Structure 1
């Protein structure tokens, strides 16, 4: 059986990987680098992607919609 921490790490990695691959503003090399970081650092890598790497449509404050 797997531990709860392993399941959470796998789910976080899967969500980050899908987000990385679907991000239209990121180039191929950058996507590969972020996927590598997310894989090597299972908890910290995906958190870094969502906090630093992902570009949000309206900016960090929400911007004008």
Structure 2
């Protein structure tokens, strides 16, 4: 069980890093995504990889 916690924490930290290092179109988009990921860790991570990451590709 401890190993799953470490893996989950690593994915969460990577998600925060990925959001912060991504380029966004609008000035507030990055702030909104950071807040979503910080306040809703599991849901925010899932949403980032399903929706957010695609919106930053090509920018």
Report TM bin, short chain: 0.5 to 0.7
CA deviations 1:5-58 (Å, max 9, x no partner) are 54344322211111111112354421111111111111110110111011334x
Task: Choose between structure 1 and 2: higher helix proportion.
Answer: 2
Aligned CA distance change for structure 1 residues 32 and 9 (closer, same or farther; 3 Å)? farther
**3-state SS in 2 of match to 1:24:** coil
Residue matched to 1:38: 37
Structure having the higher Rg: 1
Residue matched to 2:51: 52
1:23 aligns with 2:18: no
Structure 1 stretches lacking a partner, 5+ long: 58-65
**Runs of 4 or more above 3 Å deviation:** 3-9, 25-28
RMSD: 2.2
